[in-house]
Amino acid sequence: MTIAVALWSITATPGEPSVISPPSDIRITNIALGDQLADENGRTTVKLVYRRPGADEPDSDEEDEDEDEEKENDNAELSSTVLCSLTPGKIEQSTVDVVLTEDDEYLIEVVGKNTVYLTGNYIDQSPFDQDPYGEDEDVSDEEDFDLQDVSSDVEVNPDELDIPSDDEGRFEEIVEETKAASKGESKKRPRDSDAMETGEQEGKLSKAEQKKQKKLKAANGEAVPAATSEKSEKAEKGKKEKKEKKKDEKEKPKGESKTLSGGLKVVDHKTGTGPQAKSGDTVTMRYIGKLENGKIFDQNTKGKPFKFHLGKGEVIKGWDIGIVGMQVGGERMLTIPAPMAYGKRAQGGIPANSTLIFEVKLLGLN
């Protein structure tokens, strides 16, 4: 999942090696001859010299070490490869896919007489929620991922999440019940006993409240029902909240923690009812990514879901292994150690050597 940020190019001249130390990752995509040729028949070869991964930089502080030995060590740590060979009239350009990583040093050498031109892009490999296929289809029937349906062992500040509160939902339900009750009220004359009770209650009310009730009677021609005490309202609201909490606890069973290869920990908070995800499937996901301190660095909880090919290396290794076996509709927590995430390399908002925690939900697969 990479994004092209800007155009990059360089001109490589025979006999003049070009040293490249990119400020950010570069992907070379094309190598071509120019419009003017110094040798119209000869072949021109483009070589790339690079340092092998894991090779240590030579220690300049060791002054007692012999200079010849230093040169031999440097040469042993370097590797050389041929990117392409171009011949005028036969092969004048070549498409390649080579990534030069940030802050590493590379050497471009041209063997032959013709000047060549290398073209590519500066790329950004850090965004995690980028859709790798560029699809424009909207999954309108997919439900938004509500964090309240997923339990977590990590504390998260609810003010940082764009989720409707329980109080707002309850308030709407109470208003609707009140409206329904007012529509269903009988327009028949109240019984004498009811009228007497109302009169007694009005006698106990203040003059301002009695005037307010009279205005309501004049507006709709119906008697105002007796005011309900605040204690009874609080008691009813408390009972309703307890019922909803019990219902949520039943709907969110806690799963057992399992440790997979590489130290990846998996906890199923909800088992789905659909087919199981396997390597090679295209999976549609909702997720929230957090650090161990609870800070959210990335999330996809509404709008267009995130899709990728499972097991194809399009996401971090912890996802490719941790999503396998989930059923559609299931919810799972992945605790991914740094070697199965981004390792020693820091990403946007993610420090180096970070253990990542993901709350994920499988919406669909094909």
Q: What are residue 276's DSSP bridge partners?
A: 327
How far is Cα 300 from Cα 278, in angstroms, rounded to an integer? 22
- Among 50, 128, 308, 358, the active-site one is 358
Residue 342 bears catalytic tag:
yes
Q: Where is 365: in which H helix or E strand?
A: strand 356-365
Tokens linked to 44: 């021109």
How far is Cα 210 from Cα 213, in angstroms, rounded to an integer? 5
- Among 20, 316, 323, 350, the active-site one is 316
Residue 50 bears catalytic tag:
no
Burial environment of residue 46 by CB neighbours within 10 A (0 to 12, 13 to 18, 19 or more): buried
- Name the 3-class secondary structure at 212: helix
Cβ atoms of 340 and 118 within 8 Å: the answer is: no
Half-sphere exposure (Cβ direction) of 85: Cα atoms closer than 13 Å: 7
Residue 287 bears catalytic tag:
yes
Cβ-based neighbours of 222, under 8 Å, separated by 6 or more = 185, 187
- Among 298, 308, 320, 336, the active-site one is 298
- Name the 3-class secondary structure at 282: strand
- Among 106, 128, 306, 342, the active-site one is 342
Residue showing tokens 């605790």: 335
Residue 308 bears catalytic tag:
no
Residue 316 bears catalytic tag:
yes
- Among 287, 321, 323, 350, the active-site one is 287
- Name the 3-class secondary structure at 227: coil
Angle between helix 230-251 and 166-183 (nearest 10):
120
How far is Cα 157 from Cα 171, in angstroms, rounded to an integer? 23
Tokens linked to 254: 């806690």
Cβ atoms of 53 and 99 within 8 Å: the answer is: no
Tokens linked to 311: 């097991």
Residue 108 bears catalytic tag:
no
Q: Which residues are catalytic?
A: 287, 297-298, 316, 342, 358
